[in-house]
Amino acid sequence: MKILLNELNIYEVENCHKKILKEVQSVKSSFTLNFSNVEKIDLNSIQLILSLKKYCDEKAIHLKLTNIEARQVKQTFKMFNLNQTLGIAP
């Protein structure tokens, strides 16, 4: 699923959560989140991603985050020490 927002924040996370949940419930083995448009994320977005990771782990679905190019997004994942947890290459 491609995230179409350039800023994933508290104002957008609820709608994004609903869309992601709807899509992930229809997959069986793998789910990809494409961050190519995302330039900024906040703590609420991190919580959404961690919740998604937990759901995927419980359902044996491989979660993959791709195209994380924005410096701020990379720094946020690094700051919360999530690269290994989320399988993000440094």
Output the pTM of the full model: 0.86
Inside any domain, residue 13 = yes
Total structural domains in the chain? 1
CA atoms within a 13 Å half-sphere pointing along the CA-CB vector of 74: 9
Residue 2 belongs to some domain of the structure: no
Q: What is the CATH number of the domain that holds 58?
A: 3.30.750.24
Question: Is residue 8 pLDDT above 70, yes or no?
Answer: yes
Distances from the Cα of 83 to the Cαs of 12, 76, 90, in angstroms? Answer: 23, 10, 7
- Round to whole Å and give the CA distance between 88 and 68: 9
> Does residue 13 carry a pLDDT above 70?
yes
Residue 39 has pLDDT above 80, yes or no: yes
